[in-house]
Copies of this chain bind each other. A is one copy, B any other.
């Protein structure tokens, strides 16, 4: 079964706002066996909306429309769909009473304008909105299903989960989407592509999407099937082969983020961590503490921008900075070692580099970053040259530091084995 998603709202046609509801809707529709074949964004003028609805019904059996159900004159979804279907709008007195009741509970009187939200297309089923006044509508007409939802994300999500999913389930669609979420660290997109693309021809039934962000790659192999067991088995086989091709760069086959993987390995190894950052400015500490429960392994960190604070906060000997410069292997080693001692953690990480746009010299260009890691055997260090602007360099450096922590726990166990 095919679906089209139409997002309505002139603000979605500005350079400032994207329709993000469609990601949530696509995930939910796919789970229920419905494929999304087309997405559209239209303004709130009736002729544009009419044209979009008609085209959507040509292309897809299910049309999901978000937005345009509010109380104002700009909210024209109800009227437009009624015209497309040649049906009348009637006021639903029960719905009106429930909207009035909702206002009363908030200690307010319903403005007359909100009565528009009680207008229902003939033959439509009202989908109650537990989080707002605009209800959804479910309409079966002309061998199509039209689903109208409010554009406010948390209202749309609530109605979709409680009202739309059970109705889609009752359609008895046998096809389902099966998928995996692989995360890869430390390889560029082109290298990941080169390693896994020979598998594409081998499994022509599956499609694989590759997603890249500074430092991290995701692979999503996916497969439509009406046979869960064989689909899962095929995906398991693909994941095994991808794992072989990616080696230690594969950090998760279950969609864990790098910080979640780091949290897991730190916890499994009963290790704690302290960090001393210069150019990343707190981003490493922020990523480490973004994981709930991180206080179990993250003890603390310092952001030492000035040379003086590298000494007072992280114990870097001033003569080291003087002789080698703040951005140097020696200072990265001293930051890692120093913060480990100051925090009393099992591991210390130190980062120093040049995020730019200023501060570079011919020998030390923008993007140069030293990352140190220290354990009870002392500190080690690596030098990187990251591409991009300030923000990307900071992201690459943070991601690489997290991956350095993950790899730290790969190596010793291999050594012991």
User: Chain A: residues with CB nearer than 8 A to chain B?
Assistant: 10-20, 22-24, 26-27, 30, 35-43, 48, 51-52, 55, 58-59, 207, 209, 211, 218, 220, 222, 275, 277, 280-286, 288-290, 292-295, 298-306, 308-309, 312-313, 342-344, 356-359, 390-391, 394
**CA of A358 to CA of B291, assembled, Å:** 11
Given the interface pairs A300-B309, A301-B303, the reply to whether A13 lies near B40 with Cβ below 8 Å is no
Count of identical protomers in the assembly: 2
**CA of A41 to CA of B20, assembled, Å:** 13
A175 to chain B minimum Cβ distance, whole angstroms, is 16
Closest 4 CB pairs of A and B: A281-B289, A282-B285, A282-B282, A15-B27
**Contact present for B52 and A38 (CB under 8 Å):** yes
Which residues does chain B contribute within 8 Å of A23, judged by CB atoms? 15-16, 18
Given the interface pairs A26-B13, A286-B281, the reply to whether A305 lies near B309 with Cβ below 8 Å is no
Report 25 cross-chain contacts, Cβ distance below 8 Å, ordered by A residue.
Answer: A13-B26, A13-B35, A13-B37, A15-B30, A16-B209, A16-B211, A16-B218, A16-B220, A18-B18, A18-B23, A40-B40, A51-B59, A281-B294, A282-B284, A289-B303, A295-B305, A295-B359, A300-B302, A300-B304, A300-B305, A300-B306, A300-B313, A301-B303, A302-B303, A306-B343
A191 to chain B minimum Cβ distance, whole angstroms, is 15
**Contact present for A301 and B289 (CB under 8 Å):** no
**CA of A293 to CA of B16, assembled, Å:** 27
From B38, B43, B275, B342, A312 is in contact (CB under 8 Å) with: B342
